[in-house]
Amino acid sequence: MSTIIDLAALKPIAKPLVIDLVKEAGVDVSEWSDFKGSNPAINPKYCYNWSFRQPDKVVVALFFHEDLTIAGENIVHDQNIRLRDGRFGGRGAAQWKKRANELDDNLRIAYRDGLPVRAIILEGEKRDHLDAEAESSAVEKRRLDPVPWAVTSYDVTSGNCIVTRGALPASSTDADDPEIQGFEGEERRRYILHRRREASVRAKKIQAALWENKGLLKCEVPRCGFDFKATYGELGKEFAHVHHLKPLSEAPAEGRPIKLNELAIVCANCHAMIHRGGECRPIDALIPAH
């Protein structure tokens, strides 16, 4: 997908309602009506938020135009949203922290699950969060960018995050997925699109494994059994790779329906060994019996 390198072309020229832009981006806004006022668009529970999310579908993020930069041939939002150490002070500090942390969480989820990001670009006076006496940001114009974005880099520890305009979203496990190494060009693009379409099935596989194993999520390769949570604590909770027992390279270009029994929970090491050299080895004989 082509990108506009001219940053000025992304500047908004009007000020439509946030609720309308969020709805246009694919987020259900029916809950905005659940408050005492008569106009859902001014529901304070939602209208001042910095991000929104439709589970398993899309994340909407509000970015000030002045925070966008050019990196190579891409327009990016390259800022650490995470707020800590009480850097916010003064009036409204608690709400600013809450909204920033929600944006950070939503970008993390977009990266983890391979969700597209729809960017609402803002123009106006941005509040200086280092100035405890500064007034709230004043948005003069806004627009929904018609080009989807994607979180292309996210550091769980630091919160450093890069969101790239026009990038194809891939989940954090896809980025390290050894199976993707066997695809190039258009096949690689189709593979990532396939992984995005089946994201809900892969999530169901993980939930099914957790239920069947009473909350444990272990590698299903015989003689392995690695558990990310047991090793990494909360960081590894509900994390694993999901492996196709039937190679995706044998699937038609338009994809195919995926059943849960065609997937296996595997650790990153086993997944790499399964596909080392571009192969797709059966999991039963992957680790030799001693």
**Mean model confidence pLDDT for the chain:** 83
Q: What is the pLDDT of residue 189?
A: 63
Q: What is the pLDDT of residue 17?
A: 96
Query: Which residues are bridge partners to 75 per DSSP?
Result: 70
pLDDT surpasses 90 at 79: no
| pLDDT bucket at 256, cuts 50 / 70 / 90 | low
The Cα 95–Cα 224 span in angstroms is: 46
The Cα 100–Cα 138 span in angstroms is: 16
Asked if 202 contacts 265 with a C-beta cutoff of 8 angstroms, the reply is no
The Cα 124–Cα 136 span in angstroms is: 11
Q: Give pTM, 2 decimals.
A: 0.62
Q: What is the pLDDT of residue 170?
A: 64
- Dihedral sign computed on CA atoms, order 9, 117, 23, 197: positive
Q: How many CA atoms lie within 13 A of 17 on its CB side?
A: 12
| DSSP single-letter state for residue 62 | E
Q: What is the pLDDT of residue 227?
A: 96
